[in-house]
Each structure stands twice: as C-alpha cells, then as structure tokens.
Amino acid sequence: MTTFTAIKGFKDIMPDESPGWHRLETVAREVARRYDFKELRPPLAEKTEIFARGLGPATDVVEKEMYTLVDKGGEKITLRPEATAGLVRAVLEHHLADGGQAARLFCLGPMFRYERPQKGRLRQFHQLDVEVFGDPGPGVDAELLAWLTTFLAEIGLSELTIHLNSLGCPECRPAFRELLVNFFTERREALCPDCRRRLNINPLRIIDCKIDSCRQVAAGAPKILDHLCGECADHFKALKSLLDALELRYEINPNLVRGLDYYTRTAFEVVSGDLGAQSAVAGGGRYDGLCRELGGPDIPGIGFAAGLERLIMLLKDKAPSDQPGPDYYLALLHEAALPASFRLAAELRGQGLRVAADWRPGSLKSRLKRADKVAAAKVIMLGEDELKQGQAIVRDLATHQQMPLDLTPFLK
Ligand code: HAM
C-alpha cells in the first residue's frame, strides 16, 4: 500500500521544533503588547478579487503563485498569499479606522504561495504581520521599524540591518516609470526574457532582477530617490532623521523595490547573508492607496511581514534549543497500582507539574530506561510492594537520591 506524504512545499513542524516557534510567537505577542498593537485573526482565504486587485495583477504572486479555487457555490476564493490585503478588507468591513482613528493590528499564521520550493522557500509558510491603518507617518514609519528591530533583537538577531528606500507616490512615480521604460528600452537586448516582458507592465521590478546581465544594466538606471516629489522627499528625510534619533541601524538601498504593487513611499527589507538565495527575512512599507483600491475611503497604511521559517533557520544556527524534560516520570510496575498512579499523576498535574507516564506496567529496568529517554528529572516507582507499604519511591535521576512518598491520599 502506498503511504501518503505531505503536499510538496508544505511542511510538518515537528514536536522538537515547536518550542522554537512558541518562542517567536511569544516574543511577537509581547512586543505587540508593548507597542499597543491588537491581534486580528483574519480567515485563511478571501475572495480572489481582493488579492488580484490589492497586490497588483502584474505581480508574480497574482500571475503565478495563488492557490485559487472555485467553491461549491461558484465563488472564486484564494488561500491568502499574504496578510495585508485581507486585513485591509477586515478593517474596512468592521470600520476599524473610521473617523481618523488609527488601527494598530498584527496577526500570525500560515500563508500560501505556489512557488518552487527550495531552502527558505515553501508553499505554506508563516508570517508575523504587523500593520497600522489611518496614520500617514512619518512618525509611525519609524515606530514600525523600531517594532521590527526590537522583535529581531529580542529573538536573538540583533545584527541584522534594515534596507530602506522610498518608492514615491502617484504624483512622482509615473514620471520616474517613464524614465525607466526609456532607459531599459534602449538596453532591451541585454535584459532577460522576464524583464523584457516586465518592461511595459512593471519596469520597477527590473531593478530587482537577480539575473547578472539585468543587474549590470540596472546598476546604471535612474534612481527613484533622485526623482521624488517634494512631499515624498520630505517624508523620507523626516523618517531618516527619526531613525537617526532612535539610533536605529539602516542602510539606504535605492535599488530596493518590493514584489507587491501596493507600496507607496517608505519601503524596507531585512536581509541576511546566511540564508542563501532566499535572503529576505522581513519586508514591508507604506501602502497609502490600498484601502481606496479595495473600495474603501482614503486610509493610509503601513506594515511589514517577517517570515518565521527563515527566522527559525537563522536561530537554529545560533543556539540549539534544549527542551527540558518532565518533572516526573511515573514508573508503573504492576497493574494493581494503576488507580493510585492515576490519582497521583492528577494531583501533581493539578499542582502545575509536568508528568510523563506509560500506563502499561513494565519492569523496573525498562521503566528507568524510559525515564532516562524522556529526560525526566525524577522517577516515581509504584508497584505491588509500594502499594502494600503505602509508600512509593521517588528517585532523583541527577543525584540518584531516593525519598519515600506517602501514598495514603491516593489509595482508596
Ligand atoms: P513579502 O516580502 O512578500 O511581503 O513577504 C514577507 C516575508 O515573508 C519575506 O521577507 C519572507 O521572509 C517571507 N516569505 C515570503 N514568501 C515566502 C516563501 N515562499 N517561503 C518562506 N517565506 C516566505 C509581504 O507579504 C507583505 N504583505 C508585507 C507587508 C505587510 N507589507 C506591508 N504590510
């Protein structure tokens, strides 16, 4: 008979990996609390139109990577490839940023993209996603970058640097786009087939192409930072001076363009040299036009998402997580001791202690071996003799000291 395996690009998070995940999630929730962000848990799927319109029809995600299906009612739905568009939908639907109030939200969970799986790239992966709606910045831009830096430092990745750029706005970007199209059209022959196709639909993405010949061409391309309108330039300048005041480390990267089309002004990424080709651990930016694009009022927005698998990979190289074993292993040596063992385990667990046990009686030798295997701190031995005497034996596995334990309360 064939046995089943998980879907390609979908991964089990194994029991020995879970503590690392809990740690990231706990730190994320704690930093969110301190920065006064609330958790909103949107559904894992949305109407396809939300992503198609929100992320931009010419993005790789929308063109090639969405898990889309038609449900039995004929509705076209998509497993979320990212969280921002769904959060915009939720904020608009529940009026969370109406009347000038800011909504400060985060969520944690799986995202789905039909990409070619490789190291650090999965088809189901997890993000910490953090967003602010209703605040035009630049103060909140700096605050979000501080949020991200604090989170990274507190999980143990303080050496990572933020790459920062501004992508302009609908005022200044069209003229810059025109400049780029002219520049790349003159050098069309040197571009890869993908970039030739992008030339007229999404020329900004050419700047970000990883193919050598495209990179060489792109190195001489006009830089958006030289073509920002007055308001975008002021925003960027103010953001930089706030980051300097916070003593946050960042590098200006005029070649940073993001893979999703909703960005305006501030754009940033955190990359690590230790991850190979999939080097971005977090990315984000401002999306002042997205709420309007999805049918709502003009509510500015900014946010970021960090890829949890990539963070776990970086942390694995640092410190192997030592999981402590249970406080007690209950060594059941005779069936007759089962009821007393059960009551004793319930009492200890009620006190908040961690108790491991096998409920089939076994020999002392096999049970001690098992206690060692699960790395218990102490073993409680309970067999026929102990029942008769009304005392179990507790052995400390580190010191080998033994102590009697009164069984009277557990014998009925
Ligand atoms: P993104 O850059 O597409 O942005 O993804 C953010 C992070 O998710 C990446 O830096 C990476 O760590 C992780 N990631 C993306 N794709 C994969 C994959 N296939 N496998 C493993 N990890 C992956 C967004 O998703 C935006 N929604 C971020 C944002 C929030 N912008 C504003 N608000």
**Domain spans of the chain, in order of start:** 18-172+228-314, 328-410
284 lines ligand 1 (CB under 6 A): yes
Distance CA 102, CA 113 (A): 30
88-97 b/e (C-beta count within 10 Å ≥ 16 → b)? bbbbbeeebb
Question: Which atom of ligand 1 approaches the CA of 306 most closely?
Answer: 7
Q: Is the CB of 59 under 6 A from ligand 1?
A: no
Full pLDDT tens readout for the chain, 412 residues: 789 999 999 999 999 899 999 999 999 999 999 999 999 999 999 999 999 999 998 889 999 999 999 999 999 999 999 999 999 999 999 999 998 899 999 999 999 999 999 999 999 999 999 999 999 999 999 999 999 999 999 999 999 999 999 999 999 999 999 999 999 999 999 999 989 988 888 899 899 888 899 989 999 999 999 999 999 999 999 999 999 999 999 999 999 999 899 999 999 999 998 888 888 999 999 999 999 999 999 999 999 999 999 999 999 877 655 678 999 999 999 999 999 999 999 999 999 999 999 998 889 999 999 999 999 999 999 999 999 999 999 999 999 999 999 999 998 7
**Measured distance CA(266)–CA(304) in Å, rounded:** 11
Q: Quick check: CB of 125 below 6 Å from ligand 1?
A: yes
Identify the residue whose C-alpha is closest to ligand 1 atom 14: 307
In a 13 Å sphere around the CA of 198, the CA atoms on its Cβ side amount to 22
Q: Which of the listed CATH numbers 3.40.1260.10, 3.30.930.10, 2.40.50.90, 2.60.40.1180 matches domain 18-172+228-314?
A: 3.30.930.10
Would you state the structure tokens that stand for residue 127, as one six-digit string? Answer: 């993000």
pTM of this prediction?
0.92
Question: Is 307 a pocket residue for ligand 1 (Cβ < 6 Å)?
Answer: yes
Mutate to test the pocket of ligand 1, among 24, 51, 123, 125 (most ligand atoms within 8 A of CB): 125
CB 209 within 8 A of CB 192: yes
Angle at 112 between CA 107 and CA 118, to 5 degrees: 115
**Ligand 1 atom nearest to CA at 311:** 12
Q: Count CA atoms within 13 Å of residue 234 on its CB side.
A: 5
Quick one: which atom of ligand 1 is closest to the CA of 282? 10
Query: What CATH topology corresponds to 328-410?
Result: Rossmann fold (3.40.50)
- CA-closest residue to ligand 1 atom 23: 307
Q: Please tell me the distance between residue 106's alpha carbon and the centre of ligand 1 in angstroms.
A: 14
Which residue in 242, 285, 243, 245 sits closest to 263, CA to CA?
285
Closest CA to 273 of 157, 122, 142: 157
